[in-house]
Structure 1
Amino acid sequence: MGPFSLTSISSPILTSVSQLQVASCGSVSLESSYEKVNQCIYTSTLLYEFEEPGLKPIDDMKSCFQWRLAYSERYSTDFYITDRRSGIRALVKAGTGCKVIPLIIESRLVKTTRKCKVLSSTLGKWLIERNLSAEARLLRLEEGYIKEGSSVSVIGMCQRQNDTVMIVQPQETLSTGCLWRKLLLPVDVDGLLFGAPNMADPASH
């Protein structure tokens, strides 16, 4: 799997796009759920609850406390990538009907404590809007996004339609093969994979 080239696409190929590509919104842009960051191409918001599943044997090495994913929102939309050097642009079909595999690390925005008797008005409103309980409890909320202007990496099928270069979800599961120089074993790709390793993390509260 070689470097991405926008000028030599004659048939669909599995391609890896370097981090030199700049993302820009298509006809539809997204807004992050909690922080309300707009002009995004991908957003994710995760809510965890801290629960005690019950008593366990004393010799159990695992903690009887754990965080449980109680609610999640993940959205992506079609967007463009533009090569910084050549200025050539390609359409990434990451919208409706596409299986997206995001390489995004969400940032922690909210974490309540046992001393918290009442949730903040912002968190309470966010929960109520989603028909979730606004009762004070141990919660952790994380959010991530890729904003327009971020540098992105993409792995998908590259094809040309008329004069438009597009990167789409592979039609079948494909393998990257062994990358011995990078000490990486084969990875099966069954969706459109992208990430923004250099994106600015959302501010923590």
Structure 2
Amino acid sequence: MKMRATSFAHNQAVTNLNVEDGFSIKGSIPKTIIYMVLMLFVIGFVAGGFILAAIHNPILLIVVVVIFGFVAALVTWNIYYGTKGVIGFVSRYPDADLRTAKDGEYVKVTGVVTCGNVPLESSFQRISRCVYTSTCLYEYRGWDSKAANTQHRRFTWGLRSMERHAVDFYISDFQSGLRALVRAGSGACVTPYVDESIVIDVNPDNKDMSPEFLRWLRAKNLSSDDRIMRLKEG
């Protein structure tokens, strides 16, 4: 049975992935801890500066600066290169043989993927028999244009709408030829690393040239107005 996007949210066999970035330190650490760490650094800088001015001893200030630089570098790497680092680690990790794999063991399996009992269909292009679908609508915000979301900064692309779903699927191991069921549906914890392709770029000058895109917006109750939009699917 092929599942259309309108019924995904109400089907228990489908995992709805509503997070823009599955690997980010910003979303994995509570804000309370972040604020506490920032306060500790502020206190450290103030205390180090006071000691330096009072007794001309820069040791505490140097220690705080070094620790702050290390933490800042780690956070910066995570934000900008974290996903690439994970993909690189997975690509270098050796493939497992399903014949010798044990229960509870983390394994990497490379093989041919086939649909399970509930195949998916992409939202815009209507590509059928998928095990994972992602359709994301982005908007560019200029100086006086509307924000796509509450965190959308000017002169950047912001996420306005996202539909990401995953279901159970089968994978045939290249090494052993065995077929395994991967439990990606029914609310499973899934972190996708699937490249998305630009399907369409829309601006006020060419939005009428894509009636399919306008129909898709109306079906999703999204207005077009005079926005610069980009649709990606993967």
User: Is the TM-score greater than 0.5?
Assistant: yes
- Identify which of 113, 119, 123 aligns with 1:29: 119
The CA distance in 2 between the partners of 1:71 and 1:119, in whole Å, is: 21
The CA distance in 1 between the partners of 2:143 and 2:187, in whole Å, is: 36
Greater C-alpha radius of gyration: 2
- Identify which of 106, 112, 119 aligns with 1:14: 106
- Distance apart, 1:136 and its partner CA: 4.3
- Higher relative helix content: 2
1:6-155 alignment to 2 at 5 Å? 6-17=98-109, 19=110, 21-52=111-142, 64-116=154-206, 118=208, 120-144=210-234
- Higher relative strand content: 1
Contact 2:141–2:156 (CA under 8 A) maintained in structure 1: yes
Tell me the alpha carbon deviations over residues 133-187 of structure 1, each in whole angstroms, 9 at most, x when there is no partner.
133421100000xxxxxxxxxxxxxxxxxxxxxxxxxxxxxxxxxxxxxxxxxxx
The CA distance in 2 between the partners of 1:3 and 1:64, in whole Å, is: 44
The CA distance in 2 between the partners of 1:9 and 1:103, in whole Å, is: 24
- RMSD (Å) for aligned C-alpha atoms: 2.2
- TM-score normalised by length of structure 1: 0.60
Structure 1 regions of 5+ residues with no counterpart?
Answer: 55-62, 145-205
The CA distance in 2 between the partners of 1:25 and 1:83, in whole Å, is: 15
**Kindly, what percent of the aligned residue pairs are identical?**
40
Contact 2:101–2:107 (CA under 8 A) maintained in structure 1: no
Residue type matched to 1:28 in 2? Answer: V
The CA distance in 1 between the partners of 2:207 and 2:122, in whole Å, is: 27
Q: Indicate how the Cα distance of structure 1 residues 117 and 83 shifts in structure 2: closer, same or farther if over 3 A, else same.
A: closer
- Distance apart, 1:64 and its partner CA: 4.0
Q: Does 1 or 2 have the higher relative contact order (CA < 8 Å, sep 6+)?
A: 1
Residue type matched to 1:73 in 2? Answer: E
Aligned pair count reads 135
- TM-score normalised by length of structure 2: 0.53
Structure 2 regions of 5+ residues with no counterpart?
Answer: 1-92, 145-152
